[in-house]
């Protein structure tokens, strides 16, 4: 690593974690480490916001993930590095952040051409004797992360058409519209007739093979739902009373929010019968929220099947389990659907970790970033942390969830950069000339739903200046 890259890495660690975090001693004592290398069950869920019982949403039916949370650590404020699937996953799996020059919008295999491929998380484990397997959606594209897997990356195949339609009429619509039929489907079918059920089947089969191996495993299981379209077996739709589905409390644009903060949710607009502009009819909005809930419960059931097999094979005591969503999702908040924005609804995602030899049933409000997952798993598995890593192990938070921790975390999307401190979230959008053209500031203590942008209020001028300087310093840490 050249001197300039080393400067950038050290700067980022100092800025992102604070001096206190850097001063911490070794996190795991010899007595706290397992006697053998632990397995890793690495569960990714696409477009999953913290819409789960364990995150306080009592209307949700997510018993299996809730049980995992009860035995593990729940990170209440885990931030993705970019609110879009490919970039978020590339960042998490590489341990490095997105920047304007390293945006990951082309995802990892394209970014490699520009600045060289980093050592991926699964490849690092493979290099240290782990048998690594990828099932379903882990990277955005299955050919990303070359050399990461001991076996070819696997994806489900089935009789569905387009983006997973089983109902004949929906299949015909999807074929006529480049795969995009209705935004939801409610089919009378078994779990394994949809793709995610097949992914759970494959993971269960793999666990039975891996249990007989004489080396540890890193099993990555990537579920697609609740990504659009909201297709799930009818029995999961039936878990929820459609009459009791509640719309977002704040379906309006935040007061004084800049135009840059709001998008037209083109991802959803592309589906059949979704209006090209304007808000959704109330009945349609309720149906989509219902579909999102159904898909979340469907995935919860698949997670439960995989965890049940882990228990049946007596592997749970030797296996770290990680469950993460790649970013949040909007369900009508601030006029928005989908992700692709700098509101907390898109930037915060679930992160739950179960470590068999450490105390579970723990929650932490410590600010956490997805780039922290790579070094954390290295520490837990007793592996060295590669020199390129830009996050920091969150193991101290597992042991002391209320301790002082990071001063700030950062996310970026297109021309916008966000910094989140303990109380405030500040975002700036800058042009290619480096000049700021829009900004917003929210007080998370007084306005947790981000309904009033206070960046232009005179009494906040000094605060805005300080947060802006922090963002400029943060960007400067990436100069090549």
Summarize pLDDT for 236-249 with one digit per residue, the tens.
999 999 999 999 99
Which 8-state DSSP code applies to residue 386?
A: P
Q: List b or e across 310-320, with b for residues whose CB sees 16 or more CB atoms inside 10 angstroms.
A: beeeebbebbb
To the nearest 10 degrees (0 to 180), the angle between helices 195-210 and 282-312 is: 10
Q: Distance (Å, rounded) from C-alpha 123 to C-alpha 408?
A: 29
Q: Which residue has the tokens 């869920």?
A: 45
Query: What pLDDT does residue 18 have?
Result: 45
Instruction: For 259-285, write each residue's pLDDT tens digit.
Output: 999 999 999 999 999 999 999 999 999
Q: Which residue has the tokens 């049940």?
A: 308
**Three-class DSSP category at 351:** strand
Tokens coding 354: 């179960």
Instruction: For 48-76, write each residue's pLDDT tens digit.
Output: 999 999 999 999 999 999 999 999 999 99
Query: What pLDDT does residue 459 have?
Result: 98
Is there a contact between 95 and 371 (Cβ–Cβ < 8 Å)? yes
Q: How many helices (H) and strands (E) does the chain have?
A: 14, 17
Domains of the chain and any CATH numbers: 3-421 (3.40.720.10)
Query: What pLDDT does residue 29 have?
Result: 56
Q: Distance (Å, rounded) from C-alpha 403 to C-alpha 230?
A: 39
Query: What pLDDT does residue 351 have?
Result: 98
Is there a contact between 354 and 38 (Cβ–Cβ < 8 Å)? no
Q: What is the mean pLDDT of residues 376-397?
A: 95
Percent of the chain with pLDDT over 90: 81
Q: Distance (Å, rounded) from C-alpha 118 to C-alpha 108?
A: 9
Q: Distance (Å, rounded) from C-alpha 414 to C-alpha 116?
A: 21
Helix (H) / strand (E) containing 109: helix 107-115
Which 8-state DSSP code applies to residue 142?
A: T
- Catalytically active residues are 85, 140
Q: How confident is the model at residue 144 (pLDDT cuts 50, 70, 90)?
A: confident
- The number of beta carbons lying within 10 Å of the beta carbon of residue 147 is 13
Q: What are phi and psi of 317, to 5 degrees?
A: -75, -10
The yes-or-no verdict on residue 17 having pLDDT over 50 is no
Q: Does this model's pTM top 0.85?
A: yes
Is there a contact between 427 and 467 (Cβ–Cβ < 8 Å)? no
Bigger pLDDT: 479 vs 382: 382
Q: Distance (Å, rounded) from C-alpha 219 to C-alpha 223?
A: 13
Q: What is the mean pLDDT of the chain?
A: 90
Bigger pLDDT: 89 vs 6: 89
Q: How confident is the model at residue 97 (pLDDT cuts 50, 70, 90)?
A: confident
Q: Of 346, 424, 412, 457, give the one whose Cα is nearest residue 78.
A: 346
Query: What pLDDT does residue 28 have?
Result: 58
Q: What is the mean pLDDT of residues 338-353?
A: 97
Query: What pLDDT does residue 143 have?
Result: 76
Q: How confident is the model at residue 432 (pLDDT cuts 50, 70, 90)?
A: confident
Is there a contact between 107 and 87 (Cβ–Cβ < 8 Å)? yes
- Give the number of residues written for the chain: 480
């Amino acid at each position: 690593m050249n001197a300039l890259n080393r400067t950038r890495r050290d700067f980022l660690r100092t800025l992102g974690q604070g001096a206190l975090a850097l001063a911490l001693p070794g996190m795991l004592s010899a007595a706290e480490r397992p006697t053998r290398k632990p397995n890793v069950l690495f569960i990714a869920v696409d477009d999953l916001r913290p819409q789960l019982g364990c995150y306080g949403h009592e209307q949700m039916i997510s018993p299996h993930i809730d049980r995992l949370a009860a035995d593990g650590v729940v990170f209440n404020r885990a931030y993705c590095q970019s609110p879009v699937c490919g970039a978020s996953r590339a960042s998490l799996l590489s341990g490095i952040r997105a920047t304007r020059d390293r945006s990951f919008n082309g995802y990892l295999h394209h970014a490699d051409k520009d600045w060289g491929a980093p050592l991926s998380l699964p490849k690092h484990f493979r290099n240290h004797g782990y048998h690594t397997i990828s099932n379903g959606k882990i990277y955005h594209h299955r050919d990303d992360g070359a050399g990461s897997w001991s076996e070819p990356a696997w994806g489900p195949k089935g009789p569905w058409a387009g983006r997973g339609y089983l109902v004949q009429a929906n299949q015909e619509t999807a074929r006529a519209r480049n795969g995009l039929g209705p935004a939801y489907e409610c089919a009378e079918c078994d779990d394994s007739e949809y793709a995610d059920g097949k992914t759970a089947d494959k993971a269960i089969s793999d666990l039975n093979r891996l249990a007989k191996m004489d080396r540890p495993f890193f099993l990555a299981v990537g579920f697609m739902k609740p990504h659009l379209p909201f297709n799930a077996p009818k029995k999961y739709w039936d878990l929820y009373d459609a009459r009791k589905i509640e719309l977002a409390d704040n379906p309006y644009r935040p007061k004084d929010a800049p135009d840059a903060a709001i998008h037209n949710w083109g991802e959803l607009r592309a589906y059949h019968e979704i209006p090209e502009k304007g808000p959704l009819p109330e009945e349609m909005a309720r149906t989509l929220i219902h579909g999102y809930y159904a898909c979340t419960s469907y995935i919860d059931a698949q997670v439960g099947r995989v965890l049940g097999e882990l228990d049946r094979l007596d592997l749970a005591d030797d296996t770290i389990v990680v469950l993460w969503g790649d970013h949040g999702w909007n369900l009508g908040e601030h006029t928005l659907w989908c992700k692709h924005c700098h509101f907390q609804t898109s930037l915060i995602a679930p992160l739950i970790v179960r470590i068999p030899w450490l105390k579970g049933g723990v929650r932490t409000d410590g600010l956490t970033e997805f780039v922290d997952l790579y070094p954390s798993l290295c520490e837990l598995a007793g592996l060295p942390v590669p020199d390129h890593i830009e996050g920091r192990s969150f193991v101290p938070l597992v042991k002391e969830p209320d301790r002082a921790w990071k001063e700030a975390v950062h996310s970026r999307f297109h021309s916008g950069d966000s910094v989140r401190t303990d109380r405030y979230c500040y975002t700036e959008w800058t042009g290619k000339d480096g000049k700021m053209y829009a900004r917003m500031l929210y007080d998370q203590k007084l306005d947790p739903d981000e309904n009033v942008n206070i960046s232009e209020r005179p009494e906040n001028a000094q605060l805005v200046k300080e947060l802006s300087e922090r963002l400029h310093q943060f960007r400067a840490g990436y100069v090549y």
